[in-house]
Structure 1
Amino acid sequence: VHHQTLIPANIGMFQRAISMSGVVNKQIIMNDNDLKKVFNMISDKTDCKQENKAELLMCLQKLTPTEILGIVNIYEFMTPDNYTEEMLIGPSIDGELINGQLYETMHDRSSPEATFFRSLDFMSGTTNAEGSVLFYSLMPDFQETFNFSVEDGIPRRALCEAIIPGLIQGLYGNRPDLSQRLCEFYTSDKGNDDQSNQALAFYGDLTMVAPSTSALIAHSRKNTAHRTYNYILSAPSPVPFEPPPPAWFSGAGHADDLYLLFDMPILPTKNRLEERHTTLSSRIIRYFTNFAKTGDPNSEELPVTWPPYDVQTREYLDFDFELSVNKDFHVDATRIFQPQLRELFQNEKQEL
């Protein structure tokens, strides 16, 4: 969704956008190395061996969806002693729809991308444990190399020696200083369960929470004409969206807001819902519907007034079973990942 708000060709197509659990980040644009890897993989697994991109695309269009989905697998690029993620299929700079790195141009208020983005009403939010993506993406070979099982927990050694350096390499380049700082930041002395959840917090902060804060600030900075809103979902799901989480997992995982927003009566989830789940669901639906209609999520029947996101106050609505307004979700981590966001460092002593 956020990607679409940064394409000026979409002017006039919509007036508001809600970006859930993810925004444009440093990985969103494919680079030449990614393209070469994908082309090589396609060539190895199909009869589409054309070097000309137009001819290759025509060949791919003849494949079935099942064949296409079976071509590219990110796990084939992972090694047992490292953890990396690459944007193997995604948008690229084509000089037509995308003219540059969207993650950077959204902060340049003179750019066409930022001008369009800031002409919309924008809402962005995450769950409080987006890093749940990590526990089911750690492959068996990786777990064997570091002598652990995800079901029992994610040890500090795996986090600091492989997960952090691997992801930082992909997003920031070779930064051992940053990796060491993050290792110290996400190290816990409160036991195995907390250390495991800290590993998930690293992944979620890096890939979703910090980029979301960046997008919120880019949109709301000196923007009085259009509104910005931020939310966090804290209420755990009775039936998580992803594979069953380990016993040590705590929080609302990635995509655990979907059953609440879409009120899915035909799914098994419905049989496990309590009244508090249906109440929260109806409130989220009302807030989001109000925003979609008017740009303001609030209405008289809702119990808590949701304040707009402002670069000075940085407030968000916490969707827990008891709604509350808070500020600066995981701000200490975001300061590490986004040191260029000067608003996060103003009055730092008071905020900390």
Structure 2
Amino acid sequence: MIGLLKTKILALFSVVSIVKGVNVTNAIEVETPSGWVKGYNITTEEGQITRFVQIPYAQPPVGNLRFKKPLPVRKWEGFQGISDEQATWCSQWYYPAPGTKMPKIDEDCLFLNIYVPGRISMDRNLSVMVWIHGGGFVSGAGSLYNPIKLVSKGDVIVVTINYRLGLLGFFTMNDPLASGNNGLWDMIEALRWIQNNIGAFGGNPKSVTIFGQSAGGGAVSFLALIPQNEGLFQRAICQSGMVYSLAVSNRKSEKRTMDFLLERTRCKGKQDVAKTLECLQGLPVENITNAVTFMDMLVPLNLTIEAGGFLPSIDGELIKENIGYTKSFDDELYRFFRSIDFMSGTTDGEGVIMLQSITQEVQNYYNFSIAEKVPSSLLCEMAAPGYVASVAGNVPELSQEICDFYNITGDTDAKSNKICEFYGDYAFLVPSNILLSIHANGNSKSETFQFLVTRRSPIALIQTPPSWFKGSIHGDELPLLFNVSSIRPISEVELESLKREKKLSDTLIQYWTNFAKFGNPNGENITEWPSYDMNNKRYIVIDNPIHTSENLKPRATDLLMRITEIGRQRIEPAVSSANILHNVKSPNFLKDLWSFHANLFQNGFSFIYLLCYILLLLL
């Protein structure tokens, strides 16, 4: 019978010999609609949980399924689930941190991991939190993030998932045979599996929260802006990651990546897309993952990258346009998004990521070292013009506005931090502000909450910044929510420092899990978290002590929103053109065409151009 639970008590010593770092007391077997799974009871300082690792949610994406949407997993015979803490990772670039264990990496990787508090019972109806890991859409794995603290203290089920990364997850030939976004499709298939199976673990499929950090937070926002996902989740949390205009790849960079890949794999020159795809599907997976590297994405003497084929793209199905260029809050695009509860926030030092993109070549060109400073010339001559050109086209006066706004007077450290703020603002903070306002504007049906992390973590999960850099850095909240020792080794000194943050950690866990259970993070014995509204735009500051503030960086938000709006108006004629061509036989064709003409005229196009365009349509 589906959902039947049977427990086999195993000899303690026989299990401990293969599961390290935890106290394993017995094995648990659960029948799900997909088949039987095996998990293990784990006792830790935080309490007892049951852990199910490496459960398949889709068919292996190998062979002729490479570069294809995931197919639902077939019902299996026997048992799924392993005793190890780490599931297989998806194929990726991997540079192990010193002292870390080499994981198993394979193309057959569409697995999820389920962590249940206490005993397993179908009657518990627990809320479910689905973690989408970060890593720039090119690296990482679900099981790197151990959610024992969230599960045992928050009394929720946490599911961590793998999804295809890099070219295997996002390569596109802009053809129905290879349309891209397979990493996003993997996430959707995992959410479908959860809907169908989580009840067997005592989970409530009608109380699902998706949450993620960095690229995982960006993925959460993409999923929330796809109306077809309605019913798969009811709440969303974005941590230092959000869709914005540069998070959606463009055709030019996609073609550039495709040319690199086909040339280096000898799959170029095939007679059609089908033959080219067949060639790529027949290669060893390492030939795909190693064909195009991060260095290939870099633009010489520039801080931007050409990451087409490594990012979500406009495929005409999941993503029909660059949704990073935002619209009016009442647009149909946001209908589903505004129906769910939404929480979003960043750290105050997201600009640290900018430092990682400053190559030695750039430092030599401007004669500086990031160990000492970042000069204003880098901002005004490279960073600002590069950003404006990518978002809004060649508009020097906008670059100058950015230069004037972020180039402050003061000591070298203050000026360097302000320049880094520019990157943190346009890539993280302002996109978060914009989507929070879209969600909250006139919305009485769901809840909206914002946070800002200003507390520096004793455990830095990215490269430690220079001594002059101020603020909480990218990922600083993660050690407060997860055990992150699988990401990198943690010293005794760091561990002791983290223990002193226990009260803050417990509070964050209460906020996050309350939001997952009730759509509201507030609860007993914690600082009240005001909801975000269009009047005050209140948010909570995660520090010691926790406190509240309002209207985060309004001037930076106004400036960067205005630049993005100019970019949206620039691309609208091309979008309108494609829509009109698609609807040429519709009864409203002439009306649409006239509206298109008006748009062209406002953007500097002549009526002669329109006449030429009509002739082309009629040929």
Q: Which TM-score applies when normalising by structure 2?
A: 0.52
1:280 and 2:504 correspond: yes
**What letter is aligned with 2:541?**
D
C-alpha contact 1:20 1:125 (8 A) present in aligned 2:
yes
Q: In the alignment, which of 546, 555, 558 is matched to residue 332 of structure 1? A: 555
**What's the counterpart of residue 323 of structure 2?**
102
C-alpha contact 2:392 2:563 (8 A) present in aligned 1:
no
The change in CA–CA distance for 1:199 and 1:341 in structure 2 (over 3 A counts) is closer
Q: 1 CA distance for matches of 2:522 and 2:273?
A: 48
C-alpha contact 2:303 2:357 (8 A) present in aligned 1:
no
1:292 and 2:513 correspond: no
The change in CA–CA distance for 1:33 and 1:274 in structure 2 (over 3 A counts) is closer
C-alpha contact 1:24 1:211 (8 A) present in aligned 2:
yes
* CA deviation string 1:36-70 (max 9, x = no partner): 11111112322333585555455444555554443
Q: 2 CA distance for matches of 1:148 and 1:80?
A: 17
Q: Counterpart of 1:102 in 2: which secondary structure?
A: coil
Correspondence list, 1:299-338, <5 A? 299-302=523-526, 304-338=527-561
**What's the counterpart of residue 423 of structure 2?**
203
The change in CA–CA distance for 1:62 and 1:319 in structure 2 (over 3 A counts) is farther
Q: 1 CA distance for matches of 2:460 and 2:547?
A: 23
Q: Which TM-score applies when normalising by structure 1?
A: 0.89
**What letter is aligned with 2:230?**
I
**What's the counterpart of residue 268 of structure 1?**
490
Q: Counterpart of 1:129 in 2: which secondary structure?
A: coil
Q: 1 CA distance for matches of 2:348 and 2:255?
A: 36
C-alpha contact 2:243 2:323 (8 A) present in aligned 1:
yes
**What's the counterpart of residue 173 of structure 1?**
393
Q: 2 CA distance for matches of 1:291 and 1:140?
A: 44
C-alpha contact 2:455 2:472 (8 A) present in aligned 1:
yes
- Measured after TM superposition, the shift of residue 77 of structure 1 is 4.3
More displaced stretch, 99-108 vs 276-285: 99-108
- Measured after TM superposition, the shift of residue 252 of structure 1 is 0.9
Correspondence list, 1:226-265, <5 A? 226-264=446-484
Q: 2 CA distance for matches of 1:183 and 1:216?
A: 27
1:212 and 2:436 correspond: no
**What letter is aligned with 1:109?**
D
Q: Counterpart of 1:202 in 2: which secondary structure?
A: helix
Q: 2 CA distance for matches of 1:91 and 1:236?
A: 31
More displaced stretch, 234-243 vs 85-94: 85-94
1:90 and 2:311 correspond: yes
C-alpha contact 2:459 2:498 (8 A) present in aligned 1:
no
The change in CA–CA distance for 1:319 and 1:30 in structure 2 (over 3 A counts) is same
Q: 1 CA distance for matches of 2:297 and 2:272?
A: 24
- Measured after TM superposition, the shift of residue 296 of structure 1 is 0.5
Q: 2 CA distance for matches of 1:181 and 1:340?
A: 10
C-alpha contact 2:298 2:304 (8 A) present in aligned 1:
yes
* CA deviation string 1:7-52 (max 9, x = no partner): 1121110000001112110123222112111111112322333585
Q: 2 CA distance for matches of 1:282 and 1:63?
A: 48
**What letter is aligned with 2:224?**
T
How many residue pairs get aligned? The number is 340
**What letter is aligned with 2:221?**
H
Q: 2 CA distance for matches of 1:173 and 1:276?
A: 49
**What letter is aligned with 2:240?**
S
**What's the counterpart of residue 148 of structure 2?**
none
- Measured after TM superposition, the shift of residue 189 of structure 1 is 1.9
Q: In the alignment, which of 1, 26, 43 is matched to residue 262 of structure 2? A: 43
Q: In the alignment, which of 5, 12, 23 is matched to residue 231 of structure 2? A: 12
Select the structure that is richer in helix: 1
The change in CA–CA distance for 1:232 and 1:63 in structure 2 (over 3 A counts) is farther
C-alpha contact 2:299 2:305 (8 A) present in aligned 1:
no
Q: 2 CA distance for matches of 1:257 and 1:51?
A: 51
Correspondence list, 1:136-151, <5 A? 136-151=356-371
**What letter is aligned with 1:247?**
S
Q: More relative contact order in 1 or in 2 (CA 8 Å, sep 6+)?
A: 1
Q: 1 CA distance for matches of 2:326 and 2:354?
A: 29
**What's the counterpart of residue 33 of structure 1?**
252
- Measured after TM superposition, the shift of residue 301 of structure 1 is 2.4
The change in CA–CA distance for 1:125 and 1:146 in structure 2 (over 3 A counts) is same
- Measured after TM superposition, the shift of residue 335 of structure 1 is 1.1
**What letter is aligned with 2:398?**
L
Q: 1 CA distance for matches of 2:375 and 2:471?
A: 19
**What letter is aligned with 2:517?**
K
**What's the counterpart of residue 347 of structure 1?**
none
C-alpha contact 2:254 2:307 (8 A) present in aligned 1:
no
The change in CA–CA distance for 1:55 and 1:283 in structure 2 (over 3 A counts) is farther
Q: 2 CA distance for matches of 1:55 and 1:259?
A: 47
The change in CA–CA distance for 1:147 and 1:340 in structure 2 (over 3 A counts) is closer
* CA deviation string 1:322-343 (max 9, x = no partner): 101101222211110013999x
The change in CA–CA distance for 1:232 and 1:57 in structure 2 (over 3 A counts) is farther
**What letter is aligned with 2:512?**
F
The change in CA–CA distance for 1:105 and 1:235 in structure 2 (over 3 A counts) is closer
* CA deviation string 1:205-248 (max 9, x = no partner): 01111111110011111110001111010001212221121111
- Measured after TM superposition, the shift of residue 317 of structure 1 is 0.6
Q: 1 CA distance for matches of 2:474 and 2:276?
A: 34
Q: 2 CA distance for matches of 1:272 and 1:185?
A: 41
**What letter is aligned with 1:286?**
Q
Q: 2 CA distance for matches of 1:48 and 1:131?
A: 39
The change in CA–CA distance for 1:79 and 1:110 in structure 2 (over 3 A counts) is closer
Q: 1 CA distance for matches of 2:306 and 2:285?
A: 22
Select the structure that is richer in strand: 2
The change in CA–CA distance for 1:232 and 1:94 in structure 2 (over 3 A counts) is same
